[in-house]
Chain A
Amino acid sequence: MIAQIIFQLFIIIALAPLLSGIMKKVKAFFQIRKGPGVLQPYYDILKLLQKDSVVSTNVSWIFHAAPIVSFVAVLAAGLLIPIYITQLSLGFAGDLIAVIYLFALARFFTALASLDAGSSFGGMGGSREMFIASLVEPALMLSIFAVALNVGSTNLGFISQTVSGLGFDAVSPYQILAFVALFIIAIAETGRIPVDNPATHLELTMIHEAMILEYSGKQLAIVELGAMIKQLLIYSLLANIFFPWGIATGGAGALAMVFAILVYVIKIIIIGITMAVVETSTAKWRLFRLPELMSISLMLSFLAIVAFIIVKGG
């Protein structure tokens, strides 16, 4: 059990920078650039880990605690999401609601830290992040609830196991609607282009970058790694709740595990490439148009639930 927890953490931490690197490479390909190598995020984080942090003298303990709290919250969420096996060792500890609120905890502390340093950019980033979060959270919950209703459980491991057992019977209107809704949410949650641009430090547009502007050195490494892990976890949600085929169930042998991990990596890479394509083919939206995007997502997940009730007869 302990071994499984450690192994899952290892996979999450090891894969997250790779996913980022692949997405950067795909984006560079579409912009006809060569782009940095796929392994570049690993080098960046290793380099940052060797450097000292420069910290403003005005900050309180929150500034120092925030990266660690956010990082640990995101990692804990990772233990509640099925990655390669549906039997989660910590599955008893929480379900999808816990995952959503662990993400919210991470976001809350990042936003607090952004206010703590007292720079104007930090405050702006924090307020924008909270603005988007207030729109994203209900839609995220509704879209996963649509699937949970179908399965009859809020435990993510159980959802993924049931859906993979259903085979192609799982393809249904509510499943597809919820998937599209969650895809839009994933764009917003990971700060991708119609919502936020991860590659810019332009003061008018940045959200996440504005919040972590004050961090440097080791703390920055932890913050960046946390953001990458969060991205990986949200794509895992997409992959293992809607397309869980190939995931290992409890009592599977070592060979099945290896196969499940391979399938997982392929699924994540496909989702990452899709996301990068979406990102290059759209323009960044004005901040005040974002509620429209989020209400589309909210409406889609709402429709998914209504369709479920209509078809199954509530």
Chain B
Amino acid sequence: MVEVVFGSKIMQLLIAFILVSTFMILGSTRLYSCVRAFGIQSFLLACVAGIVAYSTGKYDIYIVALLTLIIKSAVIPYIFIYIIREIKVKKEIELYVNISPSLIIGGTLVVISYYLIRSISIISELSSLALSASMSLVSIGLFIMISRKKALMQMLGILIMENGLFLGAISLTNGMPLLVELGIFFDVLIGVLIMGILIFRINKTFESIDTDLLKNLIG
């Protein structure tokens, strides 16, 4: 954590923007803008990884940054848009919790995660910001998963949680071993593909990707 001071200011800005992009997902009712916000979030995450790589001088983190850029901010949003086009879902998201209350809940989650992180004594202010941001990303991702009806949004929620874990890992440990990172990326990609196929199946069986209908019995 010695060298990261170089990009400390930029890191703070990037992390704040990552939080904002999460709120963009939380605050919009259209699928496309949610996917776009996720793409932006992953791009910012790649920038964070790039700065960490630059300040530590480790080449394998460059690879991680590049992989984030390609897989998370290009391939996965593309898969989302492909699914949306193929099964012609309605572009509006249906919610269990309305936009304004969910924004407020999101804000509360940020505060709660900050207080949780505060009980761990960390000296550097940057890592406390990064850790609380990563914790809030995880909890907001979870909240998105339980408060949105569309299966696509639940997929997006789990990806946000993954992004949060990634942010925490990269800013705290200056990058895990490359093999672990590669494994995670592979996991995420395959996970998205499998979830995509599952969504196709749900759509075929129920004529909709509303997970509310999954509770109904079908003869």
Contact = CB atoms under 8 A, between A and B. Distances in A.
Interface of A: 171-174, 176-177, 180, 291-292, 295-296, 298-300, 302-303, 306-307, 309-313
A176 B99 CA distance: 23
Given A172-B12, A303-B16, 14 more contacts: A171-B9, A173-B12, A177-B20, A295-B99, A295-B104, A299-B103, A299-B106, A300-B20, A307-B19, A310-B128, A311-B12, A311-B125, A311-B129, A312-B125
A177 B107 contact: no
A299 B16 contact: no
B13 A173 contact: yes
A25 B119 CA distance: 56
Given A296-B23, A299-B107, A307 B16 contact: yes
Contacts of A177: 16, 20
Contacts of A313: 125, 128
A296 B103 contact: yes
Contact residues of B: prevailing secondary structure: helix
B129 A300 contact: no
Nearest to B108: A302
Interface string B21-49: 00100010000000000000000000000
B16 A302 contact: no
A310 B114 contact: yes
Contact residues of A: prevailing secondary structure: helix
A313 B104 CA distance: 22
Nearest to B117: A310
A313 B15 CA distance: 16
B1 to A, nearest CB: 15
Closest 10 pairs between A and B when the two form their complex, measured CB to CB: A173-B16, A295-B100, A299-B103, A292-B99, A295-B103, A302-B107, A173-B12, A296-B27, A310-B129, A299-B107
26 contacts: A174-B16, A177-B16, A291-B100, A292-B99, A292-B100, A295-B27, A295-B99, A295-B103, A296-B23, A298-B103, A299-B27, A303-B16, A303-B20, A303-B107, A303-B110, A306-B107, A306-B111, A307-B16, A307-B19, A310-B114, A310-B125, A310-B128, A310-B129, A312-B125, A313-B125, A313-B128
Interface string B120-145: 00000100110010000000000000
Contacts of B16: 173-174, 176-177, 303, 307
A295 B107 CA distance: 11
Contacts of B20: 177, 180, 300, 303
A300 B132 CA distance: 16
Given A173-B13, A177-B20, A292 B27 contact: yes
Nearest to A296: B27
